Amino acid sequence: MPANRGRHAYTYGDYLVLEADGPSIRYEFIDGEIVAIPGGSELHSALVAAVTGELYGQLRGTPCGLRDSNIRVHVRATGNAFYCDALIVPPG
């Protein structure tokens, strides 16, 4: 885990409370820091659409699913949490 550079180290619980209180702003939780996610640009939106379109085609006929950026991913190994532009999920 990176050294805390004099910033406040939040807990994952602190992060979940903030996320629940402010649905208009989304945050990611990275190494004890809560970071606001900036709004997307038109180019970013176009790139995400292109990538998810390609992924959808590649996943057709497989048991895996595709999710968009509305799903928060909590990485148990690091404790960090992110909103990915696209996420491939296993069946079940």
Question: What is the predicted pLDDT for the residue at 89?
Answer: 94
Residue type, 21: D
- Domain residue limits, the chain: 12-89
Question: 67 or 21: whose pLDDT is higher?
Answer: 67
Question: What is the predicted pLDDT for the residue at 15?
Answer: 86
Residue 1 pLDDT greater than 50, yes or no? no
Question: What is the predicted pLDDT for the residue at 30?
Answer: 94
- Just give the CATH number of 12-89: 3.90.1570.10
pLDDT, tens digit, 9 for 90 and up, residues 6-59:
567 888 998 888 878 766 788 899 999 999 888 778 999 999 999 999 999 999
Q: Compute the average pLDDT of residues 55-79.
A: 94
Coil vs helix vs strand at 53: helix
CA distance 66 to 91: 10
Question: 8 or 78: whose pLDDT is higher?
Answer: 78
CA distance 87 to 84: 6
Handedness of CA 67, 30, 42, 20 (dihedral sign): positive
Residue 87 pLDDT greater than 90, yes or no? yes
Beta bridge partners of 10: none
